[in-house]
Amino acid sequence: MAPRPCIIFDCDGTLTDSHHVIVEAMTRTFVSAGLTPPTDPATRAVIGLSLPNAIGHLMQDGELGLRDQLVEDYKTVFSEMRLAGEMREHLFPHVKTCLDALLDAGASLGIATGKSRRGLDHILDTHGLRRYFGTLQTADTNPSKPHPAMLEVAMSELGAAPHETVMIGDSPYDIQMARAAGTRAIGVSWTDHGPAALKAAGAHALLDSFDDWSVLLSEDKAA
């Protein structure tokens, strides 16, 4: 019997067009603390890391003692934006078509994301995605990407080996995590980081549209 393919997705910037929401929440968090907010490109560059790591990267040396408070402030700001109806975390085109096709092809699916479990649950419930995924790995219970633990736990829960698994994401952290875990790594061409950055991080291939879902089942694996 052929091995069952295992496809693990990042969330922000891969399944959902949500980077603009994260940038706005980060800006409000820093401003409310009386700090100079990071630039939009700087915030976009750390999306994919766990929240403490992301905020740590964005802080100046003299501000590092405030990191834990900013993490909590960001969570509050994000929740307030959601309650105010300011969240516009839309799915990218053809996501459900892709997920349906992968399940029909016999794949097992999961998510490995730097989001909190609360944030991921909101996305899954809002867009009716929960039924697709057999494992949900978040930054709440795993080391931040690019550490491979998140992906390793996902494979363990789905009963998949690294050679049966592909990680798909929009950031170099996703690609580096996949390479560290020994899986195939596919980047999305609509990434804010730019396709070249994903290739430089070690992506084996790029996905141009979720209509091209068959790429995710290819067994070709570059060096």
Give the number of other Cβ atoms within 10 Å of residue 83's Cβ: 9
| Alpha carbons 50 and 119: distance in angstroms, whole number | 12
* pLDDT tens-digit profile, the chain (223 residues): 456 799 999 999 999 999 999 999 999 999 999 999 999 999 999 999 999 999 999 997 767 678 999 999 999 999 899 888 887 889 999 999 999 999 999 999 999 999 999 999 999 999 999 999 999 999 999 999 999 999 999 999 999 999 999 999 999 999 999 999 999 999 999 999 999 999 999 999 999 999 999 889 876 544 3
pTM score, whole prediction: 0.90
pLDDT of residue 82: 85
DSSP state of 105: T
Class of 6-17+89-217 in CATH: alpha beta
Query: What is the per-residue pLDDT for 222?
Result: 42
Interstrand relation of 6-9 and 165-169 (parallel, antiparallel or unpaired)? parallel
Asked if 40 is an active-site residue, the reply is no
207 strand-pairing partners = 188
**H or E element in which residue 188 lies:** strand 184-188
- Per DSSP, the three-state class of 220 is coil
Supply the pLDDT for residue 3: 63
Domain boundaries, the chain: 6-17+89-217, 19-83
Which residues are within 8 A (CB) of 8 and not within 5 positions of it... i.e. 6 or more apart?
109, 110, 111, 112, 135, 151, 154, 155, 165, 166, 167, 168, 183
Residue 114: its pLDDT value, please? 93
